[in-house]
Chain A
Amino acid sequence: MNSAPLPLSGLRIIDLTMGWAGPLATRNLADLGAEVIKVESCKRFDWWRSWEATPEWVADNGAEKSPQYLSVNRNKLDITLDLEHPTGRELLLNLVATANALVENYSGSVLPKLGLDYPNLVKANPELVMVSMPAFGSTGPWSEFRAYGSTVEHSSGLPHLVGDPDQPPTMQHVAFGDAVGGLNGTAAILTALWHQKQSGKGQFVDLSQVECLFPLAAHGVLHQSVTGQAPQRTGNAHPEFAPYGVYPCSGDDAWVVIEVTDENQWQALQGLIPDLADFSDLTDRRHRRESLDTIIAQWTREQSADMAMQTLQSQNITAAKLNNGHDLLHEPQLESRGYLQWLERDHVGLQPNASAPFRTDSEPMPIRHPAPTLGQDNDYVLEEILGLSADEVSALERQGVIGTKPELAN
């Protein structure tokens, strides 16, 4: 095990985010070695633990069993503070005074109502970086509008570029905006931390999750701007290349994507599928795309998706099988790079954890510990960082400022 410090060792991040996007942004910092302290409360716990909590769920420790919560909160610490209680707010401000950055993704009106908006937080720590990542940004007429990752995708216009023209504008994922917002959130925090390190100054950072999707729609945005014409959705037919598409393989719901982008690949494909000899140049192939796809599908149906991929790739033809969730557990490329790291976690046992998508060694960035339980680190944070005594911490628990069990609203 490498004992060198992790890249962001020594940085402290206060994490007031919930759901997917915000916690992913801070998870990436935790993976890089920052001390990320997630702040929930027993009454307002991360809704990613459940959006339909019931007394039975509480009794069954449901708050500790949510795979989605576990996946974006590993490598973090967790405390509970009731921010609607004056003492909870005071403790948060004390914690902020020790931190490099605070990240939040509440609806726009929440923190100002609590007196915990940037002007107040910066009084506690003039060098603080604060990153706010609401769906539509913190300025503009929609700044307080509500959204999930799906709403973010809807609002970006991206669905108008996806799928067949005779279908509705097409979503790509149940919560596409969350993952993209999370990655951009990491970029925003790191950029501001870089500035803080160079200048000694903090600042407010505003991230619009919807705007984070515009780069993914850039090909359509640019087409509209340059031509003045709306880009047409073309399904799986590529505007330039043929063959290009998703082809059926043997087995249930088995598919391979094939993409021929130059004449070398085309000739190699003709070598594998002799019935393609009748087709000539790219113009001909695009003109007779349907016939072309039919012949290729006859060939792919005779083999597994993995075999099709391996055969095509052996001829330098761009191709890949379409994985599902189960396939990902055994995907050779991911397996060979140790992409899934396995950790024991209270209440759920051994669990896979996805690694950071970059590495400097042959091994991925270490996942040091699994996601914390609710309030798991109350004692450490309140006593070791804020200097409270054990009696004071016990008093906070009696007052309901802190705790370790979810409480449902009446």
Chain B
Amino acid sequence: MTENSSASGVFQDLTIVDVSGSVATSYAAKLFADYGALVINMESAEGFPTRGLKPLLPSGESAMHGYLHTNKQSVVGCQTYLRDEQAIVNADLVIYDPNHLPRPDYLADIERNTCAISWYGLTGPYAAMQGSDATVHALSGLMRGIGTPEGPPIIPPGYQAQIIGGLSAFNGALGHLLAISLGNLNSVFQLDASILEANMCFTDLAAINAYNDNPLPPRMGINRFPPTYPLGIWPCKDGWLGVTALTPGQWKAFCKLLDMEHFAEVELFQSSVSRLESSDLLEPEILQALSQHSAEELFYKGQAMRIPLARVPTMEELFEVDQYSSRNAFSTVTVGEETFSAPSTPFRLFATPPHFGGTVADLGADNHRWSTTHE
């Protein structure tokens, strides 16, 4: 943990212990660390699983681990039970993944608030099943809507399900810590946070619509979703333009932007659903019109006309977008002698800002702070 990131900020009086180091537990703890909590990673001698995640730095260290673990401490646990570790003494919250514990009863008798973050929840027929980001996207229904009609559906890449799970667990845990502070809760809590249920935020409406006999149609194609059209990502003379026209006003403005005003007043195209049903008719015209312009030009002109258009930046371009750079949307992470850019905390408290970037503790770097059981 860096000296200049020592306790300060919103959570300066909170101590959080992560004993598992999955992406989900790490992200939940990261949000506490970003706002000044003392976060202690209680690692095994091999280190958290995140230490092996790609991409790797030239040194062989994991950049993903670096992103998830700035401004935290690293302690190598050396006791059979967590209750015997010094680091647990002042812990306000212990975050864990039941599938990543040194032993099943590692948390016995800790008498601390806990937050379990598991793939499917601690109960139910899937509780002991193997899980992954992909299985969560499959079961939640998100994956079923991505890709071409003939399939196969497309797997969302990376660790998206776990990030959502960690974020939701942070909300639940902080809500319950706040409950104690408000006097609404007088005993320790044991939170059960399900990554699957967290990711239902994208798809719970699909279930509700199905119940109301208005099920979403099956996959309609790449970048084609109900209930509106045009909506998608299309090539321009240079670059990609993200288009959404939902209201009648936006549709008319979009037609004007592309010199397609002959479509603007057509009765059939005044409703979003009707346009979607006519998308095969409209799309060639739209593609032709877009190809005459640059994405940048259409983006600014369209926004001036109150159409929610977007540039669709590549990863390389992302760092150059003035909107993002002006807000420090990416900040510098230091791992040993190496640095790289990573996303900053998405929400900003103006009076008590978060850490922007920071350094990452080597495995066991903070053993000496909890020294009664370490050399």
Contact = CB atoms under 8 A, between A and B. Distances in A.
A146 B215 contact: no
A31 to B, nearest CB: 9
Interface string A40-78: 000000000001100000000000000110110000000
Interface string A313-335: 10011111111111111011110
B372 interface: no
Nearest to B117: A358
A357 B193 contact: yes
Interface in B314-347: 314-319, 322-324, 326-327, 329-330, 340-344, 346-347
A32 B148 CA distance: 39
Interface stretch (A89-97, A176-184, A284-292, A374-382): A176-184
A81 interface: no
Interface stretch (B74-82, B158-166, B277-285, B360-368): B158-166
A5 to B, nearest CB: 4
B207 A352 contact: yes
Contacts of A337: 121, 123-124, 194, 197
Contacts, number: 474
Contacts of B352: 195, 203
Contact of A248 (B129, B152, B177, B202): B152
Interface size on A, as a range, is 35 or more
B191 interface: yes
A163 interface: yes
A184 B167 contact: yes
B346 A33 contact: no
B247 interface: yes
A191 B10 contact: yes
A339 interface: yes
A4 B185 CA distance: 8
Q: Which of A161, A182, A216 neighbours the largest number of chain B CB atoms within 10 Å of its CB?
A: A216
A358 B248 CA distance: 39
A348 B212 CA distance: 9
B189 interface: yes
Interface string A185-223: 111101111110110010111111011101111111111
Nearest to B182: A10
Given A139-B326, A142-B323, A246 B246 contact: no
Given A168-B234, A206-B348, A318-B130, A191 B174 contact: yes
A3 interface: no
B170 interface: yes
Given A333-B125, A336-B125, A356-B172, A207 B231 contact: no
Nearest to A355: B197
Given A191-B347, A221-B341, A333-B126, A68 B174 contact: no
Contacts of B242: 150-151, 153-155, 159
A281 interface: no
B208 interface: yes
Contact of A221 (B140, B179, B231, B330): B330
Given A184-B347, A205-B348, A219 B55 contact: yes
Contacts of A214: 329-330, 343-344, 346
Q: Which of B173, B175, B181, B342 neighbours the largest number of chain A CB atoms within 10 Å of its CB?
A: B175
A169 B312 CA distance: 8
Given A51-B246, A183-B164, A188-B347, A148 B182 contact: no
B145 interface: yes
A194 B181 contact: yes
B198 to A, nearest CB: 4
Contact of B311 (A140, A150, A155, A180): A155
Interface stretch (A226-234, A383-391, A398-406): A226-234
B176 A360 contact: yes
A318 B182 CA distance: 42
A257 interface: yes
Nearest to A214: B343
A147 B303 CA distance: 9
Contacts of B318: 157, 221, 224
Interface residues of B, number: 148
B55 A223 contact: yes
Nearest to A20: B205
Interface in B231-265: 231-235, 240, 242, 244, 246-248
A244 B240 CA distance: 29
B178 A190 contact: yes
A222 B342 contact: yes
A183 B179 CA distance: 19
B69 to A, nearest CB: 13
Interface string A233-245: 1111001100011
B306 interface: yes
B314 A230 contact: yes
Given A168-B223, A188-B347, A197-B178, A155 B315 contact: no
Contact of B171 (A28, A151, A226, A355): A28
Closest 6 CB pairs of A and B: A154-B242, A325-B206, A358-B172, A7-B179, A354-B204, A214-B343
11 contacts: A10-B184, A154-B242, A154-B311, A173-B146, A183-B171, A190-B178, A194-B174, A218-B159, A222-B63, A227-B55, A320-B138
Given A51-B246, A154-B244, A357-B200, 17 more contacts: A52-B248, A67-B212, A71-B208, A140-B322, A141-B326, A151-B310, A184-B346, A197-B181, A197-B182, A207-B346, A217-B343, A225-B319, A247-B152, A318-B130, A333-B139, A336-B125, A358-B194
Interface of B: 10-11, 13, 27, 31, 35, 54-57, 63-64, 67, 115, 120-121, 123-126, 129-132, 134-147, 151-160, 163-165, 167-179, 181-182, 184-185, 189-194, 196-198, 200-212, 214-216, 218-219, 222-223, 225-228, 231-235, 240, 242, 244, 246-248, 271-272, 303, 306-319, 322-324, 326-327, 329-330, 340-344, 346-352
